[in-house]
């Protein structure tokens, strides 16, 4: 992958090259077209290992999409494309499947949920650089609920807001990520109930002044979903977002500003 930082502003295809922009990457990314044909990869014995790797990659990609779906309200706070890093994070989970052979290994996140904890949606300004005090939480698989406790925020002491945004708010999201098992038709959850659109729940604080800070904040969340078995992970994420007044008692969230991370997974 090449990168053009200045001098060229076009995107699209020219000859054997494709140029495009990627969020979180400065400049324009350039890739060369071509490579081995899809037909050879699909049938040639020489590419057996490639087919096995591709099959498992599809499983991790499906799991990554589910994880991103379960933090959807916070995705606007991300400052880079988190799909690739999530896929890489899930590789050790898949490799450690003790029962299946390469190419058919499951993505059993419920056995290693702690792998998600601390995953950041940001690279430039992370959550901990803004909120410099411990945020505590509890997550219960039994009650499908969670609680987040955020200490009082004091400007320039344990609270370092970015930019010149006037308001901020905390938002927490609780979502369910099912394990995925290999099948001839692709990677699937253990039960069809997981294949239905899974609900997530979010809770947000009121808008606070970035100059004044805030008192202790508590956010409570509970999922209205009864899992059919134990092949799932409950994931709790938290973010800080910024806002600007747009009218009387009305606030508009500032796009692409703020930070978020996964705080707990069980």
Reported confidence tier of residue 197, pLDDT bands at 50, 70, 90: confident
Do residues 86 and 59 make contact, with C-beta atoms less than 8 angstroms apart?
A: no
Residues in Cβ contact with 181 at an 8 Å cutoff, skipping those fewer than 6 apart: 106, 187, 188, 189, 190
The ranges assigned to domains in the chain are 6-32, 38-265
pLDDT at 107: 93
250 Cα distance to chain centroid: 28
Q: Which stretch of 18-32, 112-126, 250-264 has the lowest confidence by average pLDDT?
A: 18-32
pLDDT at 47: 47
Q: Is the pLDDT of residue 46 over 70?
A: no
Q: Is the pLDDT of residue 5 over 80?
A: no
Q: Is the pLDDT of residue 44 over 60?
A: no
Q: Which stretch of 63-77, 142-156, 183-197, 246-260 has the lowest confidence by average pLDDT?
A: 183-197
pLDDT at 20: 72
pLDDT per position as a tens digit, 66-96: 999 999 999 999 999 999 999 999 999 988 8
Percent of the chain whose predicted confidence (pLDDT) is above 70: 83
Reported confidence tier of residue 41, pLDDT bands at 50, 70, 90: very low
149 Cα distance to chain centroid: 21
Q: What is the mean pLDDT of residues 49-69?
A: 80
Q: Is the pLDDT of residue 203 over 50?
A: yes
pLDDT at 58: 80
Q: Is the pLDDT of residue 43 over 70?
A: no
pLDDT at 55: 67
């Amino acid at each position: 992958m090449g990168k053009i930082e200045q001098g060229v502003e076009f995107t699209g295809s020219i000859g054997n090259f494709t140029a495009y922009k990627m969020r979180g990457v400065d400049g324009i990314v350039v890739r060369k077209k071509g490579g081995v044909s899809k037909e050879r990869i699909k049938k040639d014995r020489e590419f057996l290992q490639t087919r096995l790797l591709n099959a498992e990659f599809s499983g991790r990609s499906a799991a990554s999409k589910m994880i991103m779906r379960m933090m959807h309200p916070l995705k606007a706070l991300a400052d880079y494309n988190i799909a690739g890093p999530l896929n890489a994070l899930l590789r050790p989970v898949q490799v450690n499947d003790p029962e299946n052979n390469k190419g058919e290994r499951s993505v059993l996140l419920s056995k290693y949920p702690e792998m998600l904890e601390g995953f950041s949606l940001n690279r430039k300004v992370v959550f901990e650089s803004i909120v410099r005090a411990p945020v505590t939480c509890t997550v219960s698989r039994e009650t499908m609920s969670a609680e987040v406790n955020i200490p009082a925020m004091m400007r320039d002491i344990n609270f370092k807001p970015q930019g010149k945004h006037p308001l901020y708010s905390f938002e927490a999201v609780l979502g369910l990520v099912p394990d995925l098992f290999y099948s001839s038709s692709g990677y699937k959850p253990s039960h069809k109930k997981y294949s239905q659109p899974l609900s997530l729940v979010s809770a947000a604080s009121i808008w606070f002044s970035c100059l004044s800070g805030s008192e202790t904040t508590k956010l409570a969340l509970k999922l209205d979903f009864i899992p059919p078995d134990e092949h799932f992970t409950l994931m709790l994420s938290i973010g800080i977002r910024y806002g600007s007044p747009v009218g009387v008692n009305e606030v508009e969230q500032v796009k692409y500003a703020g930070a978020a991370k996964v705080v707990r997974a069980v």
